[in-house]
C-alpha cells in the first residue's frame, strides 16, 4: 500500500510544512504515514481564507450552483472509490468490507442527499393582515435562510469520512465556508476529500482542511477562534464540554454528537435468534467503535440464560474483526476489562487480547467480550468503553426495563427486541434516547433526525435538521 500523505488544504493550496507526527497502522503498529501538525497560524489562515470565500464567488453562489458542486464531489469520490477504501482501511484497520459497504458509500450518499435536500427545500411566506393599520393594512412576511458564515467542523476517528462529510455536505449546501479538522488518528480520507473538492472546482477557501491534535492544538485553536461563527463537533462528551467552554467566550453556536452507553432491551417474546444476531452486530461491529453500539443489554428473565449462552458463543467464534484505533485506546478498553473483573463481573466470553500468530500480534486488538453479574452502579455499566464489549443483565417487567435503560448519563440510541407490536410502541417513546430501533440496529435513513439527549449531544443532524443548524432563518416583512 502506498504511504499516506496527509496535507493541510488552505485557500486552495495543499501544504505539509512545519512539525509532523507519525501515523501508525492499528493492524500491526507499523508507520504508514506522516501527518503535519497545524500551528495557530495555519488555523488562522484557514479561518481567514474561509471568511474571504464568503465575500467572493462562493458567497454569491446560488443553491443550484452549490448542489452541482455537491454532486461533482460525490462523483469525484466515486471515481476514486478504491483509493478512499484503501486510505480508510490503512488509517483505521477496519475490515475492508466495512469501509467498502458503509463508510465510503455513505460519504458519497451524504453529498447526494444534501444536494437533493437543499435544492428541494421550500421557504415560507405569510400574507399578513393587520386591521386598522395605515394604508392597505397588509404585509407579506417571508423567510430567507442565510448561512452562518465560517463553520468549524471537528470529527472523530471511528467513521472518519462518513462523519466528516455528514457535516461538510450540509454546511456547504447551506452556503457556509468550512474549516475542517479530522481526527489526528485518521487524516487520510479527509485529505483525499480535499483533493476531490479541489478537482470539483469549488472556489478557493470555501473548504479548508487542517490536521493536528485536539486539546492545546489545532482543534482548540479552531474552536476558540473569534472568526468562527459555528462549531459542529462529533466526539467524546468530555471533549464537547471543553469545546463548549471555549465557544462560550464568543457565544458561538454548537451542534454536538457525543458519546453513548446504549441499551438493548430484549423481551421474552422476542425472536431470540434475531435478537442475538442483532446484538452481535450492535455490540461488535467495527469492534464496538461506533457511537451507536450497544454496551448494555437487558434481557427479560425467562430467556436470560439462553440469550447469554448464545451471545457468548457467537462472541467466541467471531474471527474477522478489526483492532482498536490506537495502543492508547486498546489500553483504555483493557483497563475496563480489568475494572469489570474488579467490580465483580463474570467474563462469559473474551476479556483479553487475542493471539493471531501473525503480524496482527503487533497491532491493537482486544477480544470481543461479554460480561454479566454487575450492579447498575458499576462504572463498567455507566461509562462509555467504546470497545467490543457488552454487559448483560436480567429484568422482570416493562417498567423495570425502561427504568434500567434510562438510568444512564447518556441517551444516544437504544434497541428494543419484541414481537409484541403494542409493547414496541409503548416502550420506544419512553426510552430516553435520540434514536430507538425496534427489531433492528443502525438501519439509517439520511432524512431522519440523528442525535442524542442528555450527555449524548446537543441538536440534531440529518435531513432538514442539519440544514436548520447550518443556516439562520431571517424574517422579511414587506408592507403592501
Q: Which residues form the interface with ligand NAD (CB under 6 A)?
A: 154-158, 163, 181, 183-184, 213-215, 219-220, 223, 234-236, 239, 242-243, 257-260, 291, 384, 386, 412, 452, 457
Q: Residue 157 or residue 395: which is nearer to ligand NAD going by CB?
A: 157
Give the DSSP H or E segment for 405: helix 398-406
The catalytic position among 185, 220, 291, 293 is 291
Q: Which residue has the cell 451471545?
A: 311
Task: Report yes or no: 346 and 372 within 8 Å, Cβ to Cβ.
Answer: yes
Q: CB of 247: closest distance to ligand NAD in angstroms?
A: 10
Residue nearest to ligand NAD (CB): 214
Query: Which residues partner with 437 through β-bridges?
Result: 415
Q: Residue 216 or residue 251: which is nearer to ligand NAD going by CB?
A: 216
**How would you label 426-458 residue by residue, b for 16+ Cβ within 10 Å and e otherwise?**
ebbeebbbbbbbbbebbeeebeeebbbebbbbb
3-state secondary structure of 384: coil
Give dist(CA 446, CA 290) in Å, integer: 17
Q: CB of 316: closest distance to ligand NAD in angstroms?
A: 26
For the chain, the distance separating the N- and C-terminal CA atoms, rounded to the nearest angstrom, is 67
Q: CB of 68: closest distance to ligand NAD in angstroms?
A: 29
The catalytic position among 257, 295, 367, 432 is 257
Q: CB of 270: closest distance to ligand NAD in angstroms?
A: 26
Task: Report yes or no: 141 and 125 within 8 Å, Cβ to Cβ.
Answer: yes
Chain-centroid distance of CA 255 in Å reads 12
Per-residue cell: 3: 504511504
Give dist(CA 84, CA 474) in Å, integer: 39
Active site residue 257: yes
Active site residue 367: no
CA distances from 113 to 90, 100, 109, 265 (A): 27, 19, 6, 32
3-state secondary structure of 191: helix
Q: CB of 263: closest distance to ligand NAD in angstroms?
A: 14
Give dist(CA 186, CA 310) in Å, integer: 35
Q: Residue 215 or residue 357: which is nearer to ligand NAD going by CB?
A: 215
Q: Which residues contact 182 (CB under 8 A, 6 or more apart)?
A: 155, 157, 160, 164, 189, 190, 209, 211
Give dist(CA 2, CA 16) in Å, integer: 17
Q: CB of 328: closest distance to ligand NAD in angstroms?
A: 10
Sequence-ordered strand ranges (E) for 159-289: 177-181, 207-209, 230-234, 254-257, 262-266
Q: Residue 423 or residue 460: which is nearer to ligand NAD going by CB?
A: 460
Q: CB of 60: closest distance to ligand NAD in angstroms?
A: 31
Sequence-ordered alpha helix ranges (H) in 62-159: 63-79, 81-92, 96-98, 104-119
Q: CB of 67: closest distance to ligand NAD in angstroms?
A: 25
Q: Is 249 exposed, middle or buried (0-12, 13-18, 19+ CB in 10 A)?
A: exposed
Q: Residue 59 or residue 457: which is nearer to ligand NAD going by CB?
A: 457
Q: Hey, which residues are catalytic here?
A: 257, 291
Amino acid at each position: 500500500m502506498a504511504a499516506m500523505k496527509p496535507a493541510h488544504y488552505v485557500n486552495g493550496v495543499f501544504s505539509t510544512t512545519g512539525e509532523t507526527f507519525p501515523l501508525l497502522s492499528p493492524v500491526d503498529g507499523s508507520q504508514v504515514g506522516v501527518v503535519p501538525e497545524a500551528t495557530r497560524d495555519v488555523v488562522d489562515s484557514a479561518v481567514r481564507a474561509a471568511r474571504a470565500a464568503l465575500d467572493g464567488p462562493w458567497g454569491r453562489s446560488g443553491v443550484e450552483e452549490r448542489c452541482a458542486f455537491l454532486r461533482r464531489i460525490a462523483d469525484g469520490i466515486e471515481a476514486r472509490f478504491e483509493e478512499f477504501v484503501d486510505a480508510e482501511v490503512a488509517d483505521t484497520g477496519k475490515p475492508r468490507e466495512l469501509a467498502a459497504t458503509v463508510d465510503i458509500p455513505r460519504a458519497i450518499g451524504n453529498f447526494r442527499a444534501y444536494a437533493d435536500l437543499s435544492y428541494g427545500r421550500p421557504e415560507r411566506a405569510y400574507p399578513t393582515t393587520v386591521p386598522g393599520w395605515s394604508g392597505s393594512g397588509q404585509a407579506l412576511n417571508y423567510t430567507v435562510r442565510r448561512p452562518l458564515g465560517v463553520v468549524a467542523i471537528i470529527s472523530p476517528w471511528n467513521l472518519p469520512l462518513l462523519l466528516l462529510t455528514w457535516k461538510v455536505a450540509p454546511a456547504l449546501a447551506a452556503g457556509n465556508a468550512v474549516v475542517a479538522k479530522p481526527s489526528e488518528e485518521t487524516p487520510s480520507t479527509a485529505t483525499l476529500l480535499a483533493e476531490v473538492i479541489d478537482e470539483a472546482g469549488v472556489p478557493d477557501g470555501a473548504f479548508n482542511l487542517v490536521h493536528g491534535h485536539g486539546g492545546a492544538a489545532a482543534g482548540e485553536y479552531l474552536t476558540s477562534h473569534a472568526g468562527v461563527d459555528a462549531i459542529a463537533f462529533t466526539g467524546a462528551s468530555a471533549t464537547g464540554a471543553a469545546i463548549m467552554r471555549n465557544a462560550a467566550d464568543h457565544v458561538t453556536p454548537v451542534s454536538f454528537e457525543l458519546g453513548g452507553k446504549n441499551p438493548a432491551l430484549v423481551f421474552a417474546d422476542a425472536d431470540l435468534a434475531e435478537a442475538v444476531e442483532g446484538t452481535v452486530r450492535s455490540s461488535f461491529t467495527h469492534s464496538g467503535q461506533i457511537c451507536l453500539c450497544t454496551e448494555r443489554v437487558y434481557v427479560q428473565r425467562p430467556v436470560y440464560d439462553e440469550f447469554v449462552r448464545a451471545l457468548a458463543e457467537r462472541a467466541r467464534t467471531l474471527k474477522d474483526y478489526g483492532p482498536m484505533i490506537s495502543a492508547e485506546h486498546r489500553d483504555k478498553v483493557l483497563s475496563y476489562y480489568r475494572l469489570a473483573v474488579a467490580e465483580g463481573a463474570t467474563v462469559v466470553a473474551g476479556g483479553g487480547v487475542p493471539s493471531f500468530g501473525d503480524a496482527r500480534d503487533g497491532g491493537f486488538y482486544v477480544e470481543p467480550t461479554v460480561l454479566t453479574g454487575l450492579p447498575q452502579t458499576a462504572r463498567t455499566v455507566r461509562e462509555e468503553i467504546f470497545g467490543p464489549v457488552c454487559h448483560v443483565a436480567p429484568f422482570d417487567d416493562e417498567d423495570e426495563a425502561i427504568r434500567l435503560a434510562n438510568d444512564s448519563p447518556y441517551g444516544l440510541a437504544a434497541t428494543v427486541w419484541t414481537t409484541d407490536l403494542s409493547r414496541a410502541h409503548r416502550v420506544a417513546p419512553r426510552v430516553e434516547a435520540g434514536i430507538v430501533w425496534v427489531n433492528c440496529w443502525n438501519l439509517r435513513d439520511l432524512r431522519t433526525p440523528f442525535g442524542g439527549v442528555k450527555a449524548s449531544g446537543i441538536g440534531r443532524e440529518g435531513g432538514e435538521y442539519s440544514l436548520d443548524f447550518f443556516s439562520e432563518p431571517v424574517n422579511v416583512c414587506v408592507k403592501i
